[in-house]
């Protein structure tokens, strides 16, 4: 049987674009459909604009620190319109790069929504049908908003980049990556920021000591972090939003942002007719090779809700190409993934938290928390944390947790050692780079627990 394409990819985000162009570079005839902007969540409304906003927001502290170091600095405040104009131009540039990457690798792209018509056919929004030997679904995810009265008054991370003006006062709801990162961003940009989290402590699932420190520093930086607190209703009043919380208090905000999790984009894709199974959150169920129950249909990235991170989607895309087009069955490795949370201060983490490691085996914990030189000199009381969780039996470092400026950069490198199975003694054999914050990772002599 002959098909229009060897591969049809639905979704032009990080995972889909990578899979499409690597398959095409290997000689496959490939098409890709994207209904929105190329680059997906990460490039257009996630990691990239978020990180640029983190950079923008950090200048407020730097100006103060600079003065403490003797610089004669004055600031007339932050110009949101200036930043937003530059940000939009940058996103346009990046989207162009993504489009060109596809074009230059010979991938045919369709600016249209697509769904499955059968195991080898994709139907575009205008009804055009294209056949393919293999179909890859890489449609990502979207923010979910809780069902509370007035929820439609709130924004999500999709809209935060498009605000006409910066609010004077914002409420951010949630305690995950997105909520905690945006609380820091907004606070740094001079917005009066309140964060509600329904549980005991933000960043659930991460190492307790690390998340306690992040939360404490966020509060010191001026964020009004309210734990065990949630929104029960919202109403519009005089152009503002009046929020009723679980304690029955009413507070007025200019904006409310829900960062209460994300859902896989798997609706209306034609999966049901093909009997492609979906899990509890609506994610597409795949095997270790990203294959669905229909052998010609694969899925990667957030739509499969495995580890929802851009570099993981890219890995899954590469493993898919290796498996299907290079005759080398490869399952993506989801073990020991280093990750950073761009809170202020940043958190970088790889491996097991102290709590998860202790539940598994006997451990030793090495930790150092101190005031870093740069900020301490400037008169800031900010603390950092360097922490290693070590197996007593094998001496392997099971987890590394860093809370510090630049923790994302540090954990990428520590992640190599941990992934290689480095022991505490391997860390100790490494000479310290002095004076740095991360030298503590190789100089901690005695366990604290
Ligand atoms: P998360 O799943 O990380 O967090 C959702 C938060 O919302 C949790 O604190 C959760 O509380 C809370 N929540 C859920 N439902 C409700 C509700 N009905 N009312 C109040 N609170 C609620 O999702 P995010 O949206 O923050 O991020 C989505 C994914 O995106 C992450 O899993 C991550 O993989 C990825 N991401 C990664 C980043 C990075 O690598 N730096 C940055 C941003 C996103 P509870 O803890 O009680 O469940």
pLDDT band, residue 356 (cuts 50/70/90): very high
Among 82, 120, 334, 434, the one annotated catalytic: 434
Ligand 1 atom 22 nearest Cα: 260
* Chain segment 95-124, per-residue pLDDT in tens: 999 999 999 999 999 999 999 999 999 999
What share of the chain in percent tops pLDDT 90? Answer: 100
Any atom of ligand 1 within 6 Å of the Cβ of 42: no
Residue 128 has pLDDT above 90, yes or no: yes
* Chain segment 184-196, per-residue pLDDT in tens: 999 999 999 999 9
CB 401 within 8 Å of CB 368: no
Span 382-400, average pLDDT: 98
- What is the phi-psi region of residue 210: left when phi exceeds 0, alpha when psi lies from -120 to 50, beta otherwise? alpha
Any atom of ligand 1 within 6 Å of the Cβ of 281: no
- Is 82 known to be catalytic? no
Predicted local distance difference test score (pLDDT) of residue 1: 78
216 CB burial (10 A radius; 0-12, 13-18, 19+) = middle
Intra-chain end-to-end CA distance of the chain, in Å: 64
Predicted local distance difference test score (pLDDT) of residue 204: 98
Any atom of ligand 1 within 6 Å of the Cβ of 341: yes
Distance 260 CA to ligand 1 centre (A): 5
Residues 6+ apart with CB under 8 A from 115: 10, 122, 123, 268, 269, 270
pTM attached to this predicted model: 0.97
Question: For 115-141, what is the HEC assignment?
Answer: EEEECCEEEECCCCEEEEEEEEECCCE
């Amino acid at each position: 049987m002959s098909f229009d394409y060897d591969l049809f990819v639905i979704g032009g985000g990080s995972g889909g674009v990578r899979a499409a162009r690597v398959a095409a570079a290997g000689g496959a005839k490939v098409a890709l459909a994207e209904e929105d902007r190329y680059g997906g969540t990460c490039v257009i409304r996630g990691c990239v604009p978020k990180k640029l906003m983190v950079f923008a927001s950090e200048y407020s502290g730097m100006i103060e620190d600079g003065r403490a170091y003797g610089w004669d600095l004055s600031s007339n405040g932050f110009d949101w319109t200036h930043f937003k104009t530059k940000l939009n131009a940058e996103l346009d540039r990046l989207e162009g790069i993504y489009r060109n990457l596809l074009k230059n690798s010979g991938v045919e792209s369709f600016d249209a929504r697509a769904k499955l018509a059968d195991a080898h056919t994709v139907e575009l929004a205008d009804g055009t049908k294209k056949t393919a030997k293999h179909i890859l679904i890489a449609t990502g995810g979207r923010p979910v908003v809780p069902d509370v009265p007035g929820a439609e008054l709130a924004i999500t991370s999709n809209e935060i980049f498009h605000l006409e003006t910066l609010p004077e006062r914002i409420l951010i709801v949630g305690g995950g990556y997105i909520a905690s990162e945006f609380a820091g961003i907004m606070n740094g940009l001079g917005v009066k920021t309140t964060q509600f989290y329904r549980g005991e402590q933000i960043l659930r699932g991460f190492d307790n000591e690390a998340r306690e420190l992040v939360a404490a520093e966020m509060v010191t930086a001026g964020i009004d972090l309210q734990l065990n607190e949630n929104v029960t209703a919202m109403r519009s009043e005089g152009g503002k939003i009046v929020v009723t919380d679980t304690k029955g208090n009413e507070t007025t905000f200019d904006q409310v942002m829900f960062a209460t999790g994300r859902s896989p984009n798997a609706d209306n894709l034609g999966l049901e007719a093909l009997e492609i199974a979906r899990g509890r959150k609506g994610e597409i169920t795949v095997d270790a090779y990203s294959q669905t129950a229909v052998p010609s249909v694969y899925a990667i990235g957030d739509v499969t809700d495995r580890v929802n991170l851009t570099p993981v989607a890219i890995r899954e895309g590469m493993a898919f190409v290796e498996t299907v087009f290079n005759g080398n069955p490869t399952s993506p490795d989801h073990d020991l993934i280093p990750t950073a949370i761009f809170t202020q201060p940043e958190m970088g983490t790889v491996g097991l938290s102290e709590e998860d490691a202790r539940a598994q085996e006997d451990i030793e914990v090495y930790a150092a928390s101190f005031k870093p030189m740069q900020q301490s000199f400037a008169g800031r009381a900010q603390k950092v944390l360097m922490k290693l969780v070590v197996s007593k039996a094998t001496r392997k470092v099971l987890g590394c947790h860093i809370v510090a400026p630049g923790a994302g950069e540090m954990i990428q490198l520590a992640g190599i050692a941990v992934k290689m199975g480095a022991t505490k003694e391997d860390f100790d054999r490494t000479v310290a780079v002095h004076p740095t914050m991360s030298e503590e990772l190789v100089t901690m002599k005695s366990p604290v627990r």
